[in-house]
Amino acid sequence: MDYRKNAPLIAAIAIPILMIIFVAVAIYVPGLFKHPTYSFLYAEGYTSGIYEVKNGTIAKVEYDERTQNYYKNREEVKLYLYDVAKDQAREISLEDAAKLSLDTSRIALDGFTIAQGRRTSLFDSNDGRNLFAINGSVSKELNVGIRNYSFTFLGWIK
């Protein structure tokens, strides 16, 4: 093989391959050394007007009858507890959720925050079905699937 003659071809193939390796390293390597340590409570669907967290406890919002009627046709909101040790989420009832002590700060004490993935096409970008724990350049995809794309973070479990 004539390396001198083929050097531009080798460079042309190597450049995109290096970019692919760079993207993979930049995304996965920082996450190997830093892990989220706090579990959290979240809802699928918009909780505004249905649930509220007051003094670290979740409760149903009490409205007058007219407002209740306004909200009653809205999509059902489900509560989930993400367990960081098991890397999985399970649905919990409002009664069980009300027993948890919540920290509503967006950033946990370990520096992680929760963000929805982005569905990006050539022309626009929307909320995706997956969740990520993010801390600076570290991002870890969580084993969670948001079925209807709407996600509400409710609080870290103290």
Partner 1 sequence: MLKAIKYIASQNLVSKDELISAYDEGIAGRKSEKTSFDISKILYFIGGGIIILGIVILIFTNWDKMNDFGKILASLGSAIAAYVLGAILSRYEKIIYAAGQAFFFISAILMPIGFYVTLDIAGLDVDAAGVNAFVSASLVLIYAISYFVYKTYLFNILAIAFSSWFYFSLTSLIAGNNPILDAEKFFEYRTLVLGFSFLFLGYYYSKIDKKVFSNMLYAFGMCGVFITALILGGYKPDQNMFWEIIYPGLVFAAIFISVYLKNKIFLFGGSIFLIAYIIKITSEYFSHGFGWAFSLVIAGLALMGVGYLTYYLHQKYLGSSEL
* Radius of gyration, CA atoms only, the chain: 22
Please choose, out of 33-41, 57-65, 71-79, 110-118, the segment that lies near partner 1 by the rule CB under 8 A: 110-118
Binding string to partner 1 for residues 119 to 158, with x set by CB under 8 A, is what?
xxxx--x--x-x-x-x--x-x-x-----------------
Q: Evaluate whether 87 touches 143 at the Cβ level (below 8 Å).
A: yes
C-beta closer to partner 1: residue 30 or 49: 30
Instruction: Please tell me whether residue 1 binds partner 1 under the rule CB under 8 A.
Output: no
Find, among 83, 84, 51, 63, the residue nearest to 154 by Cα: 51
**CA–CA separation, 41 vs 157, rounded Å?**
7
Most distant CA atoms of the chain, gap in Å:
83
Please choose, out of 13-21, 33-41, 64-72, 143-151, the segment that lies near partner 1 by the rule CB under 8 A: 13-21
Instruction: Please tell me whether residue 108 binds partner 1 under the rule CB under 8 A.
Output: no
